[in-house]
Structure 1
Amino acid sequence: MNIFDYQKWITDFYKQRGWYEFSPFIRVNFLMEEVGEVSKAIRTIEIGRDRPDEVPLTREQQIENLKEELGDVLDNVFILADKYNINLTEIMESHKEKLTNRYK
Protein backbone atom coordinates (compact mmCIF):
# COMPACT_ATOMS: atom_id res chain seq x y z
CA MET A 1 0.00 0.00 0.00
CA ASN A 2 1.34 3.44 -0.82
CA ILE A 3 1.24 6.45 1.47
CA PHE A 4 -1.62 8.19 -0.33
CA ASP A 5 -3.83 5.07 -0.15
CA TYR A 6 -3.03 4.58 3.52
CA GLN A 7 -3.71 8.20 4.37
CA LYS A 8 -7.16 7.88 2.80
CA TRP A 9 -7.80 4.52 4.46
CA ILE A 10 -6.81 5.66 7.96
CA THR A 11 -8.86 8.85 7.60
CA ASP A 12 -11.94 6.84 6.60
CA PHE A 13 -11.32 4.38 9.44
CA TYR A 14 -11.04 7.15 12.03
CA LYS A 15 -14.21 8.80 10.70
CA GLN A 16 -16.13 5.51 10.94
CA ARG A 17 -15.01 5.06 14.57
CA GLY A 18 -15.88 8.66 15.52
CA TRP A 19 -12.24 9.44 16.30
CA TYR A 20 -11.74 11.95 13.48
CA GLU A 21 -13.91 14.59 15.16
CA PHE A 22 -11.28 15.40 17.78
CA SER A 23 -9.73 18.77 17.09
CA PRO A 24 -6.10 19.04 15.94
CA PHE A 25 -5.25 20.42 19.38
CA ILE A 26 -6.54 17.22 21.02
CA ARG A 27 -5.11 15.01 18.26
CA VAL A 28 -1.59 16.39 18.82
CA ASN A 29 -1.91 15.37 22.47
CA PHE A 30 -2.75 11.83 21.34
CA LEU A 31 0.34 12.01 19.15
CA MET A 32 2.50 12.98 22.13
CA GLU A 33 1.08 10.06 24.13
CA GLU A 34 2.03 7.68 21.31
CA VAL A 35 5.52 9.20 21.04
CA GLY A 36 5.92 8.46 24.74
CA GLU A 37 4.97 4.85 24.07
CA VAL A 38 7.61 4.70 21.31
CA SER A 39 10.12 6.02 23.84
CA LYS A 40 9.13 3.32 26.33
CA ALA A 41 9.41 0.62 23.65
CA ILE A 42 12.90 1.78 22.66
CA ARG A 43 13.96 1.99 26.29
CA THR A 44 12.80 -1.59 26.76
CA ILE A 45 14.85 -2.72 23.77
CA GLU A 46 17.98 -0.73 24.61
CA ILE A 47 18.31 -0.86 28.39
CA GLY A 48 15.42 -3.03 29.55
CA ARG A 49 12.88 -2.50 32.28
CA ASP A 50 13.49 -3.63 35.84
CA ARG A 51 9.88 -4.06 36.90
CA PRO A 52 8.77 -7.07 38.94
CA ASP A 53 5.14 -6.39 37.95
CA GLU A 54 5.87 -6.81 34.21
CA VAL A 55 6.50 -10.01 32.30
CA PRO A 56 9.74 -9.64 30.31
CA LEU A 57 9.30 -9.66 26.53
CA THR A 58 11.47 -11.50 24.06
CA ARG A 59 13.50 -9.41 21.61
CA GLU A 60 10.98 -10.33 18.88
CA GLN A 61 8.06 -9.19 21.05
CA GLN A 62 9.90 -5.95 21.84
CA ILE A 63 10.40 -5.20 18.15
CA GLU A 64 6.75 -6.03 17.38
CA ASN A 65 5.68 -3.65 20.16
CA LEU A 66 7.90 -0.91 18.71
CA LYS A 67 6.39 -1.43 15.25
CA GLU A 68 2.89 -1.18 16.72
CA GLU A 69 3.72 2.04 18.56
CA LEU A 70 5.38 3.57 15.48
CA GLY A 71 2.18 2.75 13.57
CA ASP A 72 0.14 4.62 16.17
CA VAL A 73 2.43 7.64 15.78
CA LEU A 74 2.09 7.52 12.00
CA ASP A 75 -1.70 7.28 12.20
CA ASN A 76 -1.86 10.45 14.28
CA VAL A 77 0.48 12.28 11.88
CA PHE A 78 -1.66 11.15 8.93
CA ILE A 79 -4.84 12.38 10.61
CA LEU A 80 -3.28 15.74 11.47
CA ALA A 81 -2.13 16.13 7.87
CA ASP A 82 -5.60 15.27 6.61
CA LYS A 83 -7.26 17.80 8.89
CA TYR A 84 -5.18 20.50 7.21
CA ASN A 85 -5.66 18.98 3.74
CA ILE A 86 -1.96 18.14 3.45
CA ASN A 87 -0.87 15.21 1.31
CA LEU A 88 2.01 13.34 2.93
CA THR A 89 3.65 12.70 -0.44
CA GLU A 90 3.93 16.47 -0.87
CA ILE A 91 5.50 16.73 2.59
CA MET A 92 8.09 14.10 1.73
CA GLU A 93 8.93 15.73 -1.61
CA SER A 94 9.25 19.24 -0.19
CA HIS A 95 11.23 18.02 2.81
CA LYS A 96 13.60 16.08 0.56
CA GLU A 97 14.12 19.22 -1.53
CA LYS A 98 14.72 21.31 1.61
CA LEU A 99 17.34 18.89 2.94
CA THR A 100 19.01 18.47 -0.44
CA ASN A 101 19.30 22.23 -0.86
CA ARG A 102 20.51 22.74 2.68
CA TYR A 103 23.25 20.15 2.53
CA LYS A 104 24.65 20.61 -0.99
Structure 2
Amino acid sequence: MNQFDEETRKAIVQMAVDDQKHVHEMNKTGLSGSILKDRRGQLCGVTIALVGLIAAVLIAPYSAFAAGIIGTLDLFGMVALFVAPRVLEGRRNKKAVEDDASQDAE
Protein backbone atom coordinates (compact mmCIF):
# COMPACT_ATOMS: atom_id res chain seq x y z
CA MET A 1 0.00 0.00 0.00
CA ASN A 2 2.92 2.34 0.67
CA GLN A 3 3.82 2.37 -3.01
CA PHE A 4 0.50 4.05 -3.88
CA ASP A 5 -0.26 7.73 -3.44
CA GLU A 6 -2.66 8.87 -0.71
CA GLU A 7 -5.69 9.20 -2.99
CA THR A 8 -5.25 5.68 -4.40
CA ARG A 9 -4.87 4.20 -0.90
CA LYS A 10 -8.09 5.90 0.20
CA ALA A 11 -9.86 4.57 -2.90
CA ILE A 12 -8.66 1.01 -2.23
CA VAL A 13 -9.72 1.15 1.42
CA GLN A 14 -13.10 2.64 0.44
CA MET A 15 -13.64 -0.18 -2.10
CA ALA A 16 -12.95 -2.74 0.63
CA VAL A 17 -15.33 -1.00 3.02
CA ASP A 18 -18.05 -0.78 0.36
CA ASP A 19 -17.60 -4.43 -0.59
CA GLN A 20 -17.84 -5.57 3.03
CA LYS A 21 -20.94 -3.43 3.51
CA HIS A 22 -22.50 -5.04 0.43
CA VAL A 23 -21.67 -8.56 1.63
CA HIS A 24 -23.23 -7.84 5.03
CA GLU A 25 -26.36 -6.40 3.39
CA MET A 26 -26.73 -9.46 1.12
CA ASN A 27 -26.32 -11.83 4.08
CA LYS A 28 -28.90 -9.86 6.04
CA THR A 29 -31.34 -9.85 3.10
CA GLY A 30 -30.90 -13.60 2.56
CA LEU A 31 -31.44 -14.39 6.21
CA SER A 32 -34.54 -12.20 6.41
CA GLY A 33 -35.95 -13.85 3.29
CA SER A 34 -35.31 -17.30 4.71
CA ILE A 35 -37.04 -16.43 7.98
CA LEU A 36 -40.07 -15.01 6.14
CA LYS A 37 -40.27 -18.14 3.96
CA ASP A 38 -40.24 -20.36 7.04
CA ARG A 39 -42.97 -18.27 8.70
CA ARG A 40 -45.17 -18.47 5.60
CA GLY A 41 -44.71 -22.24 5.52
CA GLN A 42 -45.63 -22.55 9.18
CA LEU A 43 -48.71 -20.39 8.75
CA CYS A 44 -49.83 -22.44 5.75
CA GLY A 45 -49.23 -25.64 7.70
CA VAL A 46 -51.24 -24.45 10.68
CA THR A 47 -54.05 -23.30 8.40
CA ILE A 48 -54.19 -26.66 6.62
CA ALA A 49 -54.12 -28.52 9.94
CA LEU A 50 -56.91 -26.44 11.41
CA VAL A 51 -59.07 -26.75 8.28
CA GLY A 52 -58.61 -30.53 8.35
CA LEU A 53 -59.50 -30.79 12.01
CA ILE A 54 -62.51 -28.50 11.62
CA ALA A 55 -63.67 -30.58 8.65
CA ALA A 56 -63.33 -33.73 10.77
CA VAL A 57 -65.37 -32.15 13.57
CA LEU A 58 -68.09 -31.01 11.15
CA ILE A 59 -68.30 -34.44 9.50
CA ALA A 60 -68.22 -36.40 12.79
CA PRO A 61 -71.99 -36.24 13.45
CA TYR A 62 -72.69 -37.77 10.03
CA SER A 63 -69.86 -40.28 9.75
CA ALA A 64 -67.48 -40.98 12.58
CA PHE A 65 -65.43 -43.24 10.32
CA ALA A 66 -64.88 -40.52 7.69
CA ALA A 67 -64.11 -37.96 10.39
CA GLY A 68 -61.57 -40.33 11.91
CA ILE A 69 -59.86 -40.84 8.57
CA ILE A 70 -59.75 -37.11 7.86
CA GLY A 71 -58.43 -36.34 11.33
CA THR A 72 -55.84 -39.11 11.18
CA LEU A 73 -54.60 -38.09 7.74
CA ASP A 74 -54.48 -34.46 8.82
CA LEU A 75 -52.41 -35.17 11.93
CA PHE A 76 -50.20 -37.69 10.11
CA GLY A 77 -49.57 -35.11 7.38
CA MET A 78 -48.56 -32.48 9.93
CA VAL A 79 -46.18 -34.88 11.65
CA ALA A 80 -44.68 -35.85 8.30
CA LEU A 81 -44.38 -32.23 7.26
CA PHE A 82 -42.74 -30.88 10.41
CA VAL A 83 -41.01 -33.85 12.06
CA ALA A 84 -39.68 -35.88 9.13
CA PRO A 85 -37.43 -33.14 7.70
CA ARG A 86 -35.81 -32.64 11.10
CA VAL A 87 -35.24 -36.39 11.50
CA LEU A 88 -33.74 -36.61 8.02
CA GLU A 89 -31.56 -33.57 8.67
CA GLY A 90 -30.30 -35.14 11.89
CA ARG A 91 -29.41 -38.34 10.04
CA ARG A 92 -27.68 -36.35 7.29
CA ASN A 93 -25.64 -34.42 9.88
CA LYS A 94 -24.73 -37.63 11.71
CA LYS A 95 -23.59 -39.23 8.45
CA ALA A 96 -21.52 -36.16 7.57
CA VAL A 97 -19.82 -36.28 10.97
CA GLU A 98 -19.09 -39.99 10.53
CA ASP A 99 -17.72 -39.39 7.03
CA ASP A 100 -15.47 -36.61 8.32
CA ALA A 101 -14.23 -38.84 11.14
CA SER A 102 -13.42 -41.68 8.73
CA GLN A 103 -11.54 -39.31 6.44
CA ASP A 104 -9.54 -37.97 9.38
CA ALA A 105 -8.66 -41.52 10.41
CA GLU A 106 -7.16 -42.21 6.98
Q: TM-score range by the shorter chain?
A: 0.3 to 0.5
Structure 1 or 2, whichever has the larger Rg, is 2
Name which structure has the greater RCO, CA cutoff 8 Å, separation 6+.
Answer: 1
Normalised by the length of structure 2, the TM-score is 0.37
Q: Could you say which structure has the higher helix fraction?
A: 2
Normalised by the length of structure 1, the TM-score is 0.38
